[in-house]
C-alpha cells in the first residue's frame, strides 16, 4: 500500500471499497452510486449530522434518508464505520453494533442486517424503508412537516426541544418519478426550511445516459417550486459540500436542493468507472484496478484501515454524544418548566394515548334514515382529536366531500410560516399525500389522510410501504361503492377493496353504520404498528337499533354475529360489509317471518377476523352451514373463502355506470328482492 492518505480520504475510500466488496460477494447489487456518493455521505455524517451513534433513536436527532435505496451499501458502510448501536423491538439500546462487518459480508443474503434495500425496523439507523424511487423523497417531506409541527406545538422560549433537520440523498430516478415532484411542490409551498435534498446528478440510469428520456433542467424546476437551489460541481469536493450544507442551515425561508455532480462509479465529473457500476458487480479484475487507484491493498477484502473507526468516533461519535447530552439536559429542565407538554411528548414517543382520549366518542341512536358514513366519521374524528392533540391530517383537496376537516375551535390550518395548525391541505396529490403521511407517522404523530376510495389506486405504493415499515398511518376513504352514482365507473370503486385487503399487515375496515364507524376509529387509534383504512359511504345508511341487534363493539374482532336464529343454529348465513349489511338485515327479517332460521354476520374487516382464533371463527361461520350468501358492492374476488364452493356472492362483476344510486342498485342487483331470491335459491339447493 502506498503512503497513508489523510484520514478523510482514507475514510471515504473505505466506504467505497466496502461497497464494492459487498456487492461482489453477493454477486448482486449496485456499487456505482456508493462509490461516487461516498464523499457526500461522509460529509453529512462526519461533519454535519446531529446524530448519536450510541443512541440512534433520540427524538431530536437529524434524519438521514437514502431515497436512492439501491445504493444501500452507502448507508450500511456508514452505519458500520460510525458504530451505530442496535435498538431492540422494545426500543432498548443494546451494546452491539447495528451493522457488523459480517453483516456487510453477507449483503443481500437471508437474515443479514444488510438487505438489498434499506428496511426500517430491521436495521437500526435506517430511518425509512426505501427502494421504490421517489418514496424516500416524499417521506422526507412528511418528516419535515412533522418536525415543523412539533416545533410549533412544543418549543418554548429557551427550549428548542424539536429543531432537527432532514437530509435526503436522491438521484435521477427520484427526479423522474412523479411522486417526488408532487412532494417537492408542496414542500416549496410550505417553505419547509428544515428539509435538504442532495441530488446526485450523474446523468445515468440503468438503460444508459439520461439523455434517452430526461433532459429537463432540474435545478430550474426546483427554483420554480420555491426551493433554495445550490450547486456542487464535484462530488469529491468536501469543502464545497460543507459550504452548501452550511448555506442550507442558514436558510430559514424555504427548503434546499443541492445539485451534486458526479460520475457513477467514481465521484469525479472528470473520471469514470461505469462498467456494471449501476446495476451489477464490477468483477474482481476491475475492483483490483480501482483499489490500486485508491492505493488500497488489492488482495484484501472488507478492509478497514487503522484509524478509520477512531476518526469517525472522534467526529460524529463525539459530536453526536455532546448534542444528545445537551438535549437530554435541556429536556430535564423542560420537564420542570412544562410538565404537561413533556408528558405529551413522552406519550407520542411510545405511541400511547392520553387518559380519557375516547371519552367523547359519540354513541349514535337508532335511526332508519341514519347518516352517511363520512358524516359519522367526521363526528367521531373530531371527538377524538379534541383529546389527542397530535391527531392531525387532511385530504387531497377533498375535505368538503370526505368531511375530514377538524372543525373545533383552535384546530387551525398548517400553512407556510404558521405550522401549528392541525388541518393539512395536501392538494390534488394522492400519491405524495400517502407517502408524506408515512413520514409524519415515522416522526410519531398520528396522521390521517383522506380521499375517495377509487383514488387509493394512486396511493397504493405508499400504503404498501407503510405496511412493510409497520407504521400506523390512518386513511379515511369515502365514496366507497357504486353509491357514488352519477360520477360513473371512473369514480366507482370496484376492485379497490380486495386490492387493499391483499396487502399483508394492512387493516381494511368497512363499517356498516355510525356505531361501527365509531368502533373503527376506536380500534384504529390504538394501533402502534399497523396502518389502516376506514372506508365509509357517501350516502346515508341506517343506524341499527343495537338493543335489537348485537353491539357494534363486535367490529374489534373483524366479524361478528349481528342477528341470529332463535336457537343460534341457522340454516343460512348472510354476510355483509358496509352499507350492504342493511340489505342482509332486511332479508334476514323477511326470512325470519317465513320461518327460516337465518343469521346475519357483519364482516367489516377480513384481516381482523382472520386474526381471531379458529374457535371464534367457527362460532361465527360454522362449517356445517353451507348455505352462505355474501353481499358487497365490489368485486366478488376473495369471497369464496367465506361462502365456500356452495355459497353465493351478490357483488360486482363489471365496472359501474353513470346514473342515480337508486337506479344503479336495481341494475346491479343490490335490492332486497334480488338478495332474497338468491337466499331462497341457496336454501333450496341445500335441501336438495
For the chain, what percent of residues have pLDDT higher than 90?
91
With a pLDDT cut of 70, the percent of the chain lying above it is 97
Closest by Cα among 75, 263, 93 to 167: 75
Which residue in this structure is represented by grid cell 394492512?
Answer: 506
pLDDT value for 204: 76
**What would the 3-class secondary structure string for 243-289 be?**
HHHHHHHHCCCCCEEEEEECCCCCCCCCCCCCCCCCCCCCCHHHHHH
pLDDT band at residue 205, thresholds of 50, 70 and 90? Answer: confident
Q: Which of 145, 127, 148, 144 is nearest to 67 (CA)?
A: 127
Q: How high is the pLDDT of residue 605?
A: 98
Q: Count CA atoms closer than 13 A to 477's CA, side-chain side.
A: 33
Higher pLDDT, 2 or 658: 658
| Predicted confidence (pLDDT) per residue in 297-312, tens digit | 988 999 999 999 999 9
Which parts of 481-571 are beta strand (E)?
507-509, 532-535, 540-543, 560-563
The per-residue pLDDT of the chain, averaged, comes to: 95
**Has residue 272 got a pLDDT over 50?**
no
Say yes or no to pLDDT of 555 above 70: yes
- Which residues are known to be catalytic? 430
Q: How far apart are CA 99 and CA 79, in angstroms?
A: 6
Strand partners, 56: none
Rg (CA), the chain: 28
Tell me how far apart the alpha carbons of residues 452 and 119 are, in angstroms, rounded to a whole number: 30
Residue 278 pLDDT more than 80? no
Determine contact, residues 232/258, Cβ cutoff 8 Å: yes
Question: What's the CA angle centered on 418, arms 416 and 420, to 5 degrees?
Answer: 125
Class of domain 367-542: alpha beta
pLDDT, residue 265, reads 60
Q: What are phi and psi of 467, to 5 degrees?
A: -70, -40
Q: CATH 3.40.50.970 residue ranges in the chain? A: 7-266+277-324, 367-542
pLDDT exceeds cutoff 70 at 403: yes
Torsion (CA) 145, 151, 154, 155 in degrees, nearest 10: 180
CA distances from residue 496 to 243, 373, 399, 634, 658 in whole angstroms, order as listed:
48, 18, 21, 8, 18
Q: Residue 518 pLDDT more than 80?
A: yes
pLDDT reported for residue 91: 87
Q: What is the DSSP string of 432-490?
A: HHHHHHHHHHHTT-EEEEEEEGGGHHHHHHHHHHHHHHT---EEEEE--SGGGGGG-TT
Task: Give the whole-angstrom CA distance, residue 172 versus residue 259.
Answer: 11
Predicted confidence at residue 269, as pLDDT, reads 40
C-alpha dist (Å) from residue 500 to 449, 608, 672, 673, 686 = 15, 13, 28, 30, 33
**279 pLDDT more than 80:** no
pLDDT at 4: 45
How confident is the model over 523-548, as a mean pLDDT? 97
Tell me the per-residue pLDDT of 27-71, one tens digit each, with 9 for 90 and over: 999 898 999 999 999 999 999 999 999 999 999 999 999 999 999
Confirm if 183 and 435 have CB atoms less than 8 A apart: yes
pLDDT confidence bin for 213, thresholds 50/70/90: confident
* pLDDT digit string, tens, across residues 574-609: 999 999 999 999 999 999 999 999 999 999 999 999
Q: What is the pLDDT of residue 202?
A: 82
Would you state the pLDDT for residue 441?
98
For residue 660, give the 3-state DSSP assignment: coil
pTM, to two decimals = 0.95
pLDDT at 90: 85
Q: Which of 1-5, 49-53, 120-124, 189-193 shows the lowest mean pLDDT across its residues?
A: 1-5
| Beta strands 532-535 and 507-509, pairing class | parallel
- Residue 67 near residue 73 (C-beta atoms within 8 A): no
Domain 555-687 of CATH type 1.10.760.10: no
Does the pLDDT of residue 481 top 80, yes or no?
yes
Which CATH superfamily is 7-266+277-324 part of? Thiamin diphosphate (ThDP)-binding fold, Pyr/PP domains (3.40.50.970)
Amino acid at each position: 500500500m502506498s503512503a497513508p492518505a489523510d484520514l478523510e480520504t482514507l475514510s471515504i475510500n473505505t466506504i467505497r471499497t466496502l461497497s464494492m466488496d459487498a456487492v461482489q460477494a453477493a454477486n448482486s447489487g449496485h456499487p456505482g452510486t456508493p462509490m461516487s456518493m461516498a464523499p457526500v455521505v461522509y460529509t453529512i455524517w462526519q461533519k454535519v449530522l446531529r446524530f448519536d451513534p450510541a443512541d440512534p433513536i433520540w427524538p431530536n436527532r437529524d434524519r438521514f434518508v437514502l431515497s436512492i435505496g439501491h445504493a444501500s451499501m452507502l448507508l450500511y458502510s456508514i452505519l458500520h464505520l460510525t458504530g451505530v448501536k442496535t435498538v431492540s423491538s422494545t426500543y432498548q439500546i443494546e451494546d452491539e453494533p447495528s451493522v457488523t462487518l459480517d453483516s456487510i459480508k453477507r449483503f443481500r443474503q437471508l437474515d443479514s442486517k444488510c438487505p438489498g434495500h434499506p428496511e426500517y425496523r430491521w436495521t437500526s439507523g435506517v430511518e425509512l424503508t426505501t427502494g421504490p424511487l421517489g418514496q424516500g423523497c416524499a417521506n422526507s417531506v412528511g418528516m419535515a412537516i412533522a418536525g415543523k409541527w412539533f416545533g410549533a406545538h412544543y418549543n418554548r422560549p429557551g427550549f428548542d426541544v424539536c429543531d432537527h433537520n432532514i437530509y435526503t440523498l436522491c438521484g435521477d430516478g427520484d427526479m423522474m418519478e412523479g411522486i417526488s415532484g408532487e412532494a417537492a411542490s408542496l414542500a416549496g409551498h410550505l417553505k419547509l426550511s428544515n428539509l435538504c435534498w442532495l441530488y446526485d446528478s450523474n446523468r445515468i440510469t440503468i438503460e444508459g445516459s439520461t439523455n434517452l428520456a430526461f433532459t429537463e433542467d432540474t435545478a430550474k424546476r426546483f427554483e420554480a417550486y420555491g426551493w433554495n437551489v445550490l450547486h456542487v460541481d464535484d462530488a469529491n469536493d468536501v469543502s464545497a459540500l460543507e459550504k452548501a450544507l452550511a448555506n442550507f442551515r442558514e436558510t430559514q425561508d424555504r427548503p434546499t436542493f443541492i445539485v451534486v455532480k458526479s460520475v457513477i462509479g467514481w465521484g469525479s465529473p472528470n473520471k469514470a468507472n461505469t462498467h456494471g457500476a449501476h446495476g451489477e458487480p464490477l468483477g474482481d479484475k476491475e475492483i483490483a484496478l480501482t483499489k490500486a487507484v485508491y492505493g488500497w491493498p488489492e488482495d484484501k477484502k472488507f478492509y478497514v484501515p487503522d484509524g478509520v473507526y477512531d476518526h469517525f468516533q472522534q467526529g460524529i461519535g463525539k459530536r453526536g454524544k455532546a448534542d444528545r447530552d445537551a438535549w437530554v439536559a435541556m429536556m430535564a429542565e423542560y420537564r420542570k418548566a412544562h410538565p404537561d407538554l413533556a408528558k405529551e411528548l413522552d406519550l407520542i414517543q411510545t405511541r400511547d394515548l392520553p387518559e380519557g382520549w375516547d371519552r367523547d366518542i359519540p354513541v349514535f341512536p337508532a335511526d332508519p334514515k341514519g347518516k352517511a358514513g363520512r358524516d359519522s366519521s367526521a363526528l367521531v374524528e373530531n371527538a377524538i382529536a379534541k383529546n389527542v392533540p397530535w391527531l392531525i391530517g387532511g385530504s387531497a383537496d377533498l375535505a368538503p366531500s370526505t368531511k375530514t376537516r377538524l372543525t373545533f375551535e383552535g384546530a387551525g390550518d398548517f400553512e407556510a410560516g404558521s405550522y401549528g395548525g392541525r388541518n393539512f391541505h395536501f392538494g390534488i396529490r394522492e400519491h405524495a399525500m400517502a407517502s408524506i403521511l408515512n413520514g409524519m407517522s415515522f416522526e410519531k404523530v398520528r396522521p390521517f389522510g383522506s380521499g375517495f376510495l377509487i383514488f387509493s389506486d394512486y396511493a397504493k405504493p405508499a400504503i404498501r410501504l407503510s405496511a412493510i415499515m409497520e407504521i400506523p398511518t390512518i386513511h379515511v376513504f369515502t365514496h366507497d361503492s357504486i353509491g357514488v352514482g352519477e360520477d360513473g365507473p371512473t369514480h366507482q370503486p370496484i376492485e379497490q377493496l380486495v386490492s387493499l385487503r391483499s396487502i399483508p399487515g394492512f387493516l381494511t375496515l368497512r363499517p356498516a353504520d355510525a356505531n361501527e364507524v365509531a368502533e373503527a376509529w376506536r380500534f384504529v387509534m390504538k394501533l402502534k404498528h399497523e396502518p389502516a383504512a376506514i372506508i365509509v359511504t357517501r350516502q346515508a345508511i341506517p343506524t341499527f337499533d343495537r338493543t335489537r341487534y348485537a353491539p357494534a363493539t363486535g367490529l374489534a374482532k373483524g366479524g361478528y354475529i349481528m342477528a341470529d336464529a332463535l336457537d343460534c343454529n341457522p340454516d343460512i348465513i348472510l354476510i355483509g360489509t358496509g352499507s350492504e349489511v342493511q340489505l342482509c338485515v332486511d332479508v334476514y327479517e323477511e326470512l325470519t317471518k317465513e320461518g327460516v332460521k337465518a343469521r346475519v354476520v357483519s364482516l367489516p374487516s377480513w384481516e381482523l377476523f382472520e386474526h381471531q382464533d379458529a374457535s371464534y371463527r367457527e362460532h361465527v361461520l360454522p362449517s356445517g352451514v353451507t348455505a352462505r350468501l355474501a353481499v358487497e358492492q365490489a368485486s366478488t374476488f376473495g369471497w369464496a373463502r367465506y361462502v365456500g364452493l356452495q355459497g353465493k356472492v351478490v357483488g360486482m362483476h363489471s365496472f359501474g355506470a353513470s346514473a342515480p344510486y337508486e337506479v344503479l342498485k336495481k341494475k346491479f342487483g343490490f335490492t332486497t328482492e334480488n338478495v332474497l331470491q338468491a337466499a331462497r335459491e341457496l336454501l333450496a339447493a341445500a335441501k336438495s
